[in-house]
Amino acid sequence: MPRVTEATRAEHRRKLLEAATAEFAAKGFDGARVDDISLAAGLGKGTIYNYFESKHEVFREAVAAWFARIVEVLEPLPAGAPAREQLLAIMRTDLKVSAQIEEFARVMYRETLRPDRDEVAALLPAVDPSDQALEVVIARGQETGEIRADRPASELTRVLRSLVNGLIFERWMPESTLNLDDIPELAVDLFLQGVGT
């Protein structure tokens, strides 16, 4: 039997993650089936287990791929730019990438609301790189006096992320007129009005 090359393994893994993203978007986490993901990727039933241990791991890796895509397309931030400009650049990139897979994003957000914290931890990567980038900008803003320094940058990052997430949920509500493109500026301005010096 011919040996599978590393390039083939990488291509199969990429196809599986793309198929998983589509399957989760269409059916949610609980409704998605790993055999259907394998078949949609053009591979045999059960092939997914050659690459991932469980459906939880596939979901977590699909979210991680989404996060990685945000970092890939994030343009370098000018170090001397005001905090507002830097925060807007990160949030615009984040939501631009999220818009490309909005139905999957809905599923990811829904899964974060599970009551079992261990279940949520099993589904989500430990680190969101865009949150790390936000925290760096917020810490710089604290150093320059643009952002209040009496709260940790990590806490203020969660406040900003909560604002963004709340606005995303608002967008998904019936009769909402909020567009994804509106969210970065609205969230950053609301955030800075609360923490600006």
pLDDT of 103 > 70? The answer is yes
pLDDT for position 195: 63
- The percent of residues above 70 in pLDDT, for the chain, comes to 97
pLDDT for position 77: 76
pTM surpassing 0.75? yes
pLDDT for position 2: 61
Distance of CA 42 to the CA centre of its chain: 26
pLDDT of 1 > 60? The answer is no
The CATH H-level (homologous superfamily) assignment of domain 55-195 is Tetracycline Repressor, domain 2 (1.10.357.10)
The CA–CA distances, whole Å, from 45 to 26, 39, 69, 183 equal 19, 6, 28, 41
What secondary structure does DSSP assign to 1-42, as a single string?
-PPPPHHHHHHHHHHHHHHHHHHHHHHHHHH--HHHHHHHTT
**Mean pLDDT of the residues in the chain:** 89
Q: Mean pLDDT over residues 90-98, rounded?
A: 91
Beta bridge partners of 135: none
Residue extents of the structural domains in the chain? 1-52, 55-195
Class assignment of domain 1-52? mainly alpha
**CB of 59 closer than 8 Å to CB of 123:** yes
Per-residue burial over 6-35, b if 16 or more Cβ lie within 10 Å, else e, is eeeeeebbebbbbbbbbbbbeeebeebebe
**CB of 87 closer than 8 Å to CB of 137:** yes
The CA distance from 24 to 59, in Å, is 8
